[in-house]
Structure 1
């Protein structure tokens, strides 16, 4: 008998052919183009099941609008409607599925025609873990499969789901009602139960990535799960990596070509419907009606062929996507203000820019307005903002709002995540450590070196780079980064942040500031002692208001905007050392910006980026 398992993950609301997070015209893959692969792969298999490993409900502006009720759409949620149409067999939630609250998550999946499972999402209480399960801790799915001779057999497929305990940090509101214990221990306990129930095959659906060296065991554990006795396949996600593939290179005992770890198939299917995962198992009948796996293989089917979808859109999913998209367009075209200068993130990682300045000013104004009512101390107000679009998803992945009207689309381009406002109290020492974390986005650059060196450390995402408005400072790239890509202390004596000043006076360790920020920075990445903070910034205000709404209100009050970036930070001179950085070709129109360091246009790369050479 042959059994095929299909897999998707981290769909992040990707339904159609345009990315409504930032506005019309941004091409992306979506479920509309993945669906034909599902139908084709299913049609070629006698026995097939389809699974998903979470982060389904969040990721586009349309997802935000549905969650807030702005579109007045009847249930089910559009992405759930599409998944129902494709006939999923089971799924596990991801951490981002709780971004709009547990109630919205539960209500959305109430309309799913497939079951959820999660063995380590527990209601708080004193009862035994299994009695506190918020979702079924495992599933036993009975399926009538046929063998290669066409004879039917009833098989029992055990399915166990799990998600990272760190979800309680990223979506801190969950900690009031839920516990999330260790993934591996929780799955191990469920395997014992499934063996007792006589399952023929058992798969693990984990919203988790590969546990490569240096990763957090509370977040990425796929290899550890694959080592557990009785697991026939592991399906992961969370990190948006595609595996089988280079993501597993150089890991011992991991076959990155065939996706096998000690003989167990592992699949991670990218993000936003970029790939379909396929695991094929060959079974042989044993005594007493039991089956044994005799051959295993894992592979990925990329949805795109070069720059284009490989298959035409699926008509059924296209209909769902189009109806949702059309309903959202009226809202997204609403005018909220006007700007007299273009707002872009083309140079956010090399110079001060107008997007971060606008966001920081809006957050600071909100904190000033609410400080007295919130009972906060009368301290200097700073504001931290990070660039969200810095080319990680391609040469078009930059914020670019031209001069003229500002719409709801524009706001989503300027601030594309549904973060809530937070304010923290930080002393001078914590502020300096915070900025050292931010400076980890850069590589070390040797002063005066004639060799051109890459400016950015690709292991650190651009959104880690907070610019803190209200102070001024320099970043000395001749120093090594104090922290690694996971915010762990690696060079305690390194000092990249120099000349940190407030009101033209040096910032001392005992100074205190109120810093406007967001829920992701305050909770998601966290200010913890094990991240090098002697006295971590303390959260003093958490608002239910989204930062995007704060930005909208600020734009409406201050339009027409005329935002020019203030000189907050700069690179320390390095004797003419040169560094390479890529950005969007559209940035050529702005190379004469006086806020930029000395740059030279080196043309476009094969991937479509513009390459710049900076002189420091």
Structure 2
């Protein structure tokens, strides 16, 4: 396949329509000749139940999210060219309180249609694949939801139990692919039928992340192996064009077994013409993909194939434009362009919507939206002080502390009559809402007073379940060494060095409550963000103590955590499924609610059980939301002061070490 220069949105031209009005046309539509046609592929991905432009955690409208807003772009793109396909790339079912309300409170009775499916049905999707979060509520719930869709779901690597010796013999839950007939108009006005094959993939890591739902019921095959098996069959069945719906990030250029992020490799498979990606909550083409092997960020290509990633929560619509040419009896791609078209822009520190909501989408889900609002506003207790996460990555934090305390409270009860009852209980918790890709407003911010369900969901975003692992003191140290990888190494005596490694996810920054420790930033990180050993001799965790004494490397502890971490999520050293001693039927959020109900009023003061080792004459800087300024000062023993404006609406703060 030959890929020529791509066109940007700014290169649109105008052509005269038959009625005499001017209609915006893409250059491919304008220049197509006989036996050439322009086909558009539109993608949503990682919607996470965000239909309304509304933040249920903050209980206020939000212009950065919502399929109802993305829908307006879909309408405009369909107007620019008549030949278009709309697909979803997965992770639509879980991710905000509406998803939890339907799954845990209202349920799905026979004939019910899930609100996100109602919205998608309104827009006329052609196909969707599954993301990893579709499995968070279990297989039965997922398939009840899928039953309400007016469009097919495909997944080529999810099997009913064991893996066959040949992927084509796998007993799959869903069709691996569909082939849809799409009528296209060539440059001379002649109508043709193009057979478009759509094949889907989910990360194999679902078997770890949702083992409690999937163990003994399902298996996930390597994405690349599944693609190499099924794509030739799609061609054999007459697919002119093959589009991969890959709920998987871009990832490495070299193959490894069961990669979580395998889209770059899928794009390189013979027979794949285009690929829509997701999972990473990024927009491609975009600046975060510059300089990656196998990626042409300017033209929107992965391994030479047109590709797109449409952000998350409806923030962007992914768009691939293909110029097709009839070659004998088949079609081939001769040119392409890609873009992730946004629903908003940031002007200085303000968010400006670029589109309005599509009324039909909002109306389809309005009753569910109102019921969700009533659900999230239900009070469960009180807090004597604010709960916020503006400084959760740089100081012991009350929003993380309350999660850790609830987990300790719960696990201590669960093991009191077991063989582990005499072991000390520690608790590992991480900040989930800590800015990053979510933007400068993506922080927990709960005022003193009533604590409602929306606040608990804000403290703990995911429907993880509580688990406990038995580990040694040595394991605790390595656990913390891995967490400390979020910080850059600094040079003692230098001022204003950047503190945070932006490639390290905040949900992997575990703070362990029940021990005390300092982090020596002058030391190199021991592990990289993927848990690979970088510097075996490095030791950032110093003065690690339990009950005021240096921790015994051989001592045994129970650590309360979640199913993601206990199942190997984040690849933390020594934290493997065989260490699990307790798997709770309760979600972490349910435990937090029950803890607050029992306490009545919580007192979320951080106990400063961790801090940075002093480095004379040294200061570091980090970015957080500008609304955090009212909490700056002495924060759990860390001196935090404003230091100016940051990027994309963030604010810069300084820590003197």
TM class, shorter-chain normalised?
over 0.9
Tell me, yes or no, if the aligned pair for 2:566 and 2:576 is still in contact at 8 Å: no
How many angstroms apart in 1 are the aligned matches of 2:371 and 2:592?
Answer: 24
Query: Could you tell me how far 1:131 is from its partner in structure 2?
Result: 4.4
Tell me, yes or no, if the aligned pair for 1:171 and 1:524 is still in contact at 8 Å: no
Tell me, yes or no, if the aligned pair for 1:341 and 1:562 is still in contact at 8 Å: yes
**CA shift in 2, pair 1:126/1:7, >3 Å:** closer
How many angstroms apart in 1 are the aligned matches of 2:401 and 2:371?
Answer: 32
Query: Could you tell me how far 1:126 is from its partner in structure 2?
Result: 6.9
How many angstroms apart in 2 are the aligned matches of 1:273 and 1:15?
Answer: 8
Query: Could you tell me how far 1:87 is from its partner in structure 2?
Result: 0.6
How many angstroms apart in 2 are the aligned matches of 1:535 and 1:412?
Answer: 27
Aligned to 2:507: 463
Aligned to 1:62: 98
Match of 1:547 among 588, 595, 598: 588
SS class of match (1:525): coil
Query: Could you tell me how far 1:524 is from its partner in structure 2?
Result: 5.2
Match of 2:407 among 355, 360, 363: 363
1:91-490 equivalences in 2 (<5 Å): 91-125=128-162, 129=167, 130-173=169-212, 174-212=214-252, 218-287=259-328, 289-306=329-346, 307-373=351-417, 376-392=420-436, 393-449=438-494, 451-490=495-534
SS class of match (1:352): coil
Query: Could you tell me how far 1:213 is from its partner in structure 2?
Result: 6.4
Tell me, yes or no, if the aligned pair for 2:208 and 2:564 is still in contact at 8 Å: no
Tell me, yes or no, if the aligned pair for 2:384 and 2:448 is still in contact at 8 Å: yes
How many angstroms apart in 1 are the aligned matches of 2:641 and 2:170?
Answer: 64
**CA shift in 2, pair 1:52/1:365, >3 Å:** same
SS class of match (1:445): coil
Tell me, yes or no, if the aligned pair for 1:89 and 1:115 is still in contact at 8 Å: yes
Query: Could you tell me how far 1:377 is from its partner in structure 2?
Result: 4.1
Tell me, yes or no, if the aligned pair for 1:18 and 1:26 is still in contact at 8 Å: yes
Aligned to 2:119: 82
Tell me, yes or no, if the aligned pair for 1:341 and 1:402 is still in contact at 8 Å: yes
Query: Could you tell me how far 1:534 is from its partner in structure 2?
Result: 9.3
Per-residue CA deviations over 1:276-296 (Å, capped at 9, x if unaligned) read 122122222233x32232222
Per-residue CA deviations over 1:440-478 (Å, capped at 9, x if unaligned) read 1111111122x3101111111222111111111111111
Per-residue CA deviations over 1:116-147 (Å, capped at 9, x if unaligned) read 11111111147564341111012121233333
**CA shift in 2, pair 1:160/1:595, >3 Å:** same
Say whether 1:6 aligns with 2:47: no
The normalised TM-score by structure 1 is: 0.95
**CA shift in 2, pair 1:426/1:252, >3 Å:** closer
Tell me, yes or no, if the aligned pair for 1:120 and 1:163 is still in contact at 8 Å: yes
Match of 1:31 among 43, 61, 67: 67
Query: Could you tell me how far 1:271 is from its partner in structure 2?
Result: 0.9
Aligned to 1:511: 555
Tell me, yes or no, if the aligned pair for 2:38 and 2:324 is still in contact at 8 Å: yes
How many angstroms apart in 2 are the aligned matches of 1:585 and 1:536?
Answer: 40
Query: Could you tell me how far 1:302 is from its partner in structure 2?
Result: 1.5
The normalised TM-score by structure 2 is: 0.89
- Bigger shift: residues 327-336 or 84-93: 327-336
Match of 1:573 among 611, 614, 622: 614
Per-residue CA deviations over 1:23-52 (Å, capped at 9, x if unaligned) read 335543211110011111112222111111
Query: Could you tell me how far 1:215 is from its partner in structure 2?
Result: 9.8
